[in-house]
Structure 1
């Protein structure tokens, strides 16, 4: 009997400050970190959090995680007050990803009586060393450790996003009448094999409004015409000096240029960069007005103070002006460094000289480049400031580590999913946040800080997904890197090792998994290009994933996937994803560039599956990306789609151009034509042996929600048996029922459970009723070509009454997992039940516990009916259930009421009987005829107590049970059922044709 519960004392919720303080949901240090000011008391902090709006009062409460904003807005309450006042709902709602009320209640039942709920009670008893109540993390993390990480993350968010930079100097003062010696500034340039870009770069210098400059250009032994171009430009402008050097490093070339400098100030103009006309004048005016040795300007995330340098922001000398004597005092550029020479110099300079940050526009777009946020040039310029590819190339990486690089999307739950899904060993997760809102930034950074192998990198500039990915590549520690777009869901089974295995094969540069949508239908198995269309299509799009698995791993033109794997060295060599692509098709361009550079091909691996929450691309996004891909001029390999589809049992009959448009109603709207094959299935019924395409329809939902359904296990075993007979089989869960490619199938086989399914015109429509006979109506049965039912008596009765032939076809067992050799009899549980509650206190379990039997229970959703210590596990893998059945003293079984009444023998009976188990079940007709004494009925608890007691005299001995089990395997296997289904389907199709 459960203890009698006291009603919690009434609490007033009209004063949010008092409620938050009394509930213990105010952490003064955490509020201070978010708002950037200290508080004298917890009440002051609570009041500030309430007044500030989007501020969390406590590290373990996050309103954005609850996601019910309109509820508290309608009530006019602070979200934390709304949460603690919700009573029953708060017991089910997690206020934070690392707080699970179920875990709190399981370890602290008294928490249900706390007036402010589970979190408030947990905080009242937790110490800094108490583990957090969560299943998200792969290891235990203490409350004190997470609190420190959350406070640090909140402070970093304010520093990086809210307070972007210190106060910047305003408009430039006027230049003084005299600047001293002439030239007033030396511009230094290092050039190597960059002839085409030199002329435009120097032209931007010659266009400066300030003309008293000197250019010292050092040619580093160029093999092209760089030196000749420089020499030609210098011949017409005496301010330009060319210095020829042998091939050397960047630091050496810049030091040589400085040796030829005579000016007080030095500016740096890399080849390929272009200044605005007022750049030199503005920076010189600030330098002379302030006397600063270091003037730092820039755009986006470039550092403009020593504090920002130390915090990790990149250096861009193209936006700086330095005093020459200060450079000389610190010894110039360090020629021993392979990378980061600019950063090293500025850090040494600012150690002695306070830099002057100025907000001066300095860089000009190249001729013809479009204006606006996020365009190609803006992204490329920001990327140069954010990513040091030379430093990334010099960083050591671990062969034992796979780095997952994920630019963080807009939804915190998706970020937490990836953090919780990461393996404990052999993987790291690099999260890249781009100007995130407070809640997401703090959650991502703090949870990453306490998650083994996870890191959070903040980008304080508005950059594209591709640029954010490149930032992550530069931080990767593994020799293999997975580039992940935010729409990709964590895989249900780990795929990193499988992708790396294929990546190690000769001639492979990139690997992509099979991409499916939320319904389980293929979105992409790679990109394909036809001879007459430069735009990529998506391989196998719209087909069931089984077609891709059947075709196998193979080389494709390029990837088209939100997840791709490649060697980190390859990613660095190619300089990551191109800034021309905001997101979509960036990986396609990367694969084509890898192939053009001779680094290898792209391989798709269908047995590694990733689910995308969204379509591959929105029309507007795809239109822009295809234009960028077309401009790249990269040549894809020959199209092999025909061979791939033939291996999947399909053939191409024609090729059409599918119009993708931003506005289907407007014919003048931007659009692009994408190749799309016209496909039909091969006439497999005429082969010997016949081969058909089957769509097996089940009621289970897609993804992990339906993985534990019995229908799913049944369908997988049946599909395997059909495949062993040479058939092509796709399992369509409820969500994939309406896929267009079902028209390519020969047979629709509905495993009738909870859902009524409409037959598909043109196919052979077959229904196998395996449960819930009360839901079947005569008109439903009449609509199918062939109908089977898992009950002999019910089939005979409805055939007579409804006038439609229903053939008995009993349920069956998978003999790979269920046979008597799985375990020694009577070495396991005395009384066993394996099954989920399904929301009811099932007859067999209730009866066993009523007689005080030693029941071992495996399954989900039992805590409402059974004490937790009675539950052995939340479920057992289907492949391991047979060992439990073979070793048990007694296996328990029961049926739904309608299945019991109409004698639909459950799948569990066949599985346990194939193991030679002793089985006790509720009574249905035909048990003796089918199971020959292995299954005995019990009508009440007294029957159960008598039959379940050793030495089990009512059952056959061990040898006899083994013999009966062999008969069950011979007559009631999935292979036998597949034989019947195939033979009947072939006869019906041939008769129809």
Structure 2
């Protein structure tokens, strides 16, 4: 049914930019609807098509798929007369696809903001053959970050399954020999050359078999931990019916050929392996059981959330969805949404045009206050809680607006003190900005581009203080940002935009990163999230001084003093901390200043 020779011949004609997302569907209309809704609701970062394969579904599901196809031009629908199972159904979907990069996605999943750009980024490396996201159960615990093998069974099992989704052990980038195809990104060329999924497997083991054929049993696969996808595992009908046959076939093909790699992870992570148990006694009697480890973790993982809420509705001042890539507030909200998802909380991002949408029952409304005020006429309809997190432009928020909230979080110790003296109705808590440690971390050094003096910011048609200082002293900068025409030398501006998913590598590869703040933020004690982002990658940071900046952060940076030249300040910034000290600072940022830690602080205050 699949002409692999023709597909091989057509590889060079595939669209270089297009991503083909293949969703194979057999029944379960409700979950499929949620899956497709999440695909088109959240940022993709790349042009994409969705190949929906109706694998002989029931009438309700078939009708749903036709309705989606009719209203969404990016969907291409393939209707099979009967259930072709996972392997053949996805192979048929692939044959219809046109992109050079392929994502296989289960219909019992829900994607989160920035999932696709994060998932695809590792494929830019030649030594990576496939990528999966951090798959979490609806309660936020880990379903799979990658598959590992033991020496006690030929069958792979998911590493650190059931750990909290924000546990430090599941934030690290790792290499695997196999991944799950519940959500799997792979190059079209690799998929074709392997001959696709083997239809001899019936809804089980076909993904591991594919990975071993593509990668030859080498650790050439990875998990993009900054891509988070919820997986309602086990909701696909008939999923476990052929387990014995699938395992028997897999063992016949691979037993004794794949060395165990699970212990390497545990030794590296300081996790004690206390032994193994079988996943099924009946399968053990047939010699087809998977060996599942019993593990003892070093210290606590993470605390559970308990603030009486079912989800977050994040209100951001970005006017429209099509402008999101230009607004830092969107990336801030996306990171907070992913942290919530990793804790089992649904998260929705509302752009300014969506602010009139009422919150659902049990949702906590979080207004990430930037330039736009909250419309006072839009009162809470369902009696839920609404809080503000002031992360910038404190001078633009009136006391009248602040009194509309149930609690005020403010990203400045200084401004929290000022507000506390105004007699406002809501309670006030200082809550600094932070960083997405799954993205901004020491692993960003791998393959990082080199810049001598890096400056990343939009001018907003003002000559920023750090750039003005550099120009006055003739210190050339590598600038990335918008609206620098006529303000900075043309040859200094290297680009208008760096994709957020690539930004960590730019920071990590710089000899020094320079940063400044808007005057209102600097004077009122608002430390920008760029400070946390840069430090999390282990890069030297030179920044202007912020009023009331916590001493621990001041010591991690180098402050630009008016009494010292920029040249000398850069030299100090580069030599102030050794590489090992910068690594320690990055680990401290990951521990104390992540979105997960801020979410825990919010929930602790509201509990």
Shorter-chain TM band? 0.5 to 0.7
Matched, 1:513 2:513: no
Is residue 650–residue 682 contact of structure 1 (8 Å, CA) maintained in 2?
yes
Is residue 916–residue 962 contact of structure 1 (8 Å, CA) maintained in 2?
no
Is residue 513–residue 561 contact of structure 1 (8 Å, CA) maintained in 2?
no
Does the C-alpha gap of structure 1 residues 837 and 403 become closer, same or farther in structure 2, counting only changes over 3 Å? closer
Does the C-alpha gap of structure 1 residues 734 and 661 become closer, same or farther in structure 2, counting only changes over 3 Å? same
Does the C-alpha gap of structure 1 residues 549 and 861 become closer, same or farther in structure 2, counting only changes over 3 Å? farther
2-structure distance, mates of 1:540, 1:418 = 25
Name the structure 2 match of 1:678. 294
Name the structure 2 match of 1:698. 306
Selected match of 2:6 from 370, 391, 394: 391
Q: Give the TM-score of the pair, scaled to structure 1.
A: 0.35
* Structure 1 unaligned spans of 5+: 1-385, 684-691, 710-716, 721-728, 737-832, 841-854, 867-873, 900-904, 932-957, 983-993
Report how far residue 538 of structure 1 moved: 1.5
2-structure distance, mates of 1:475, 1:504 = 24
Report how far residue 676 of structure 1 moved: 2.0
Report how far residue 601 of structure 1 moved: 2.4
Secondary structure of 2:108's partner?
Answer: coil
1-structure distance, mates of 2:419, 2:289 = 62
Does the C-alpha gap of structure 1 residues 548 and 410 become closer, same or farther in structure 2, counting only changes over 3 Å? farther
Selected match of 1:404 from 10, 16, 21: 21
Report how far residue 911 of structure 1 moved: 7.5
Written as runs of structure 1 = structure 2, the 5 A alignment for 1:762-777 is none
Larger radius of gyration: 1
Is residue 203–residue 240 contact of structure 2 (8 Å, CA) maintained in 1?
no
Matched, 1:477 2:85: no
Is residue 19–residue 103 contact of structure 2 (8 Å, CA) maintained in 1?
yes
Greater RCO structure (CA 8 Å; 6+ sep):
2
Is residue 167–residue 301 contact of structure 2 (8 Å, CA) maintained in 1?
no
Is residue 698–residue 732 contact of structure 1 (8 Å, CA) maintained in 2?
no
Is residue 574–residue 594 contact of structure 1 (8 Å, CA) maintained in 2?
yes
Per-residue CA deviations over 1:467-523 (Å, capped at 9, x if unaligned) read: 11010011110001111222222x112333333221231232222222211111111
Matched, 1:564 2:184: yes
Does the C-alpha gap of structure 1 residues 481 and 519 become closer, same or farther in structure 2, counting only changes over 3 Å? same
Secondary structure of 1:470's partner?
Answer: helix
Matched, 1:492 2:107: no
Per-residue CA deviations over 1:342-368 (Å, capped at 9, x if unaligned) read: xxxxxxxxxxxxxxxxxxxxxxxxxxx
Does the C-alpha gap of structure 1 residues 399 and 411 become closer, same or farther in structure 2, counting only changes over 3 Å? same
2-structure distance, mates of 1:461, 1:387 = 17
1-structure distance, mates of 2:357, 2:50 = 36
Secondary structure of 1:497's partner?
Answer: helix
Is residue 412–residue 525 contact of structure 2 (8 Å, CA) maintained in 1?
no
Is residue 529–residue 535 contact of structure 1 (8 Å, CA) maintained in 2?
yes
2-structure distance, mates of 1:593, 1:480 = 18
Name the structure 2 match of 1:71. none
Name the structure 1 match of 2:379. 862
Does the C-alpha gap of structure 1 residues 550 and 838 become closer, same or farther in structure 2, counting only changes over 3 Å? closer
Is residue 434–residue 463 contact of structure 1 (8 Å, CA) maintained in 2?
yes
RMSD of aligned Cα (Å):
5.0
Does the C-alpha gap of structure 1 residues 627 and 652 become closer, same or farther in structure 2, counting only changes over 3 Å? farther
Does the C-alpha gap of structure 1 residues 389 and 912 become closer, same or farther in structure 2, counting only changes over 3 Å? farther
Considering fraction of residues, name the structure with more strand: 2
Is residue 433–residue 459 contact of structure 1 (8 Å, CA) maintained in 2?
yes
1-structure distance, mates of 2:376, 2:293 = 46
Per-residue CA deviations over 1:958-978 (Å, capped at 9, x if unaligned) read: 99x957987876599999x97
1-structure distance, mates of 2:547, 2:61 = 60
Name the structure 2 match of 1:609. 228
Is residue 408–residue 432 contact of structure 1 (8 Å, CA) maintained in 2?
yes
Report how far residue 916 of structure 1 moved: 6.0
Per-residue CA deviations over 1:378-425 (Å, capped at 9, x if unaligned) read: xxxxxxxx3222222233211101100111231234333344423485
Per-residue CA deviations over 1:721-763 (Å, capped at 9, x if unaligned) read: xxxxxxxx99984789xxxxxxxxxxxxxxxxxxxxxxxxxxx
Report how far residue 675 of structure 1 moved: 1.7
Does the C-alpha gap of structure 1 residues 494 and 413 become closer, same or farther in structure 2, counting only changes over 3 Å? farther
Does the C-alpha gap of structure 1 residues 570 and 837 become closer, same or farther in structure 2, counting only changes over 3 Å? closer
Name the structure 2 match of 1:595. 215
Name the structure 1 match of 2:451. none
Is residue 835–residue 859 contact of structure 1 (8 Å, CA) maintained in 2?
no
Per-residue CA deviations over 1:270-296 (Å, capped at 9, x if unaligned) read: xxxxxxxxxxxxxxxxxxxxxxxxxxx
Is residue 661–residue 671 contact of structure 1 (8 Å, CA) maintained in 2?
no
2-structure distance, mates of 1:603, 1:920 = 51
Name the structure 1 match of 2:409. 907
Report how far residue 583 of structure 1 moved: 1.9
Name the structure 1 match of 2:34. 417
Written as runs of structure 1 = structure 2, the 5 A alignment for 1:970-985 is 970=550
Is residue 549–residue 606 contact of structure 1 (8 Å, CA) maintained in 2?
no
Written as runs of structure 1 = structure 2, the 5 A alignment for 1:699-738 is 699=307, 705-706=311-312, 708=314, 733=343
Does the C-alpha gap of structure 1 residues 964 and 437 become closer, same or farther in structure 2, counting only changes over 3 Å? closer
Report how far residue 435 of structure 1 moved: 2.1
Secondary structure of 2:22's partner?
Answer: strand
1-structure distance, mates of 2:273, 2:55 = 46
Report how far residue 657 of structure 1 moved: 2.4
Is residue 470–residue 576 contact of structure 1 (8 Å, CA) maintained in 2?
yes
Does the C-alpha gap of structure 1 residues 504 and 424 become closer, same or farther in structure 2, counting only changes over 3 Å? closer
Report how far residue 629 of structure 1 moved: 1.2
Say how many residue pairs are matched.
406
* Structure 2 unaligned spans of 5+: 316-331, 347-354, 363-371, 431-518, 527-545, 554-587, 598-607
Does the C-alpha gap of structure 1 residues 397 and 614 become closer, same or farther in structure 2, counting only changes over 3 Å? same
Does the C-alpha gap of structure 1 residues 441 and 915 become closer, same or farther in structure 2, counting only changes over 3 Å? farther
Report how far residue 920 of structure 1 moved: 5.4
Report how far residue 834 of structure 1 moved: 13
Name the structure 1 match of 2:397. 888
1-structure distance, mates of 2:64, 2:426 = 55
Is residue 518–residue 612 contact of structure 1 (8 Å, CA) maintained in 2?
yes
Does the C-alpha gap of structure 1 residues 865 and 616 become closer, same or farther in structure 2, counting only changes over 3 Å? closer
Is residue 499–residue 512 contact of structure 1 (8 Å, CA) maintained in 2?
yes
Selected match of 1:657 from 277, 290, 303: 277
Report how far residue 432 of structure 1 moved: 0.6
Does the C-alpha gap of structure 1 residues 469 and 963 become closer, same or farther in structure 2, counting only changes over 3 Å? closer
Does the C-alpha gap of structure 1 residues 656 and 860 become closer, same or farther in structure 2, counting only changes over 3 Å? farther
2-structure distance, mates of 1:447, 1:427 = 16
Name the structure 2 match of 1:451. 72
Is residue 885–residue 915 contact of structure 1 (8 Å, CA) maintained in 2?
no
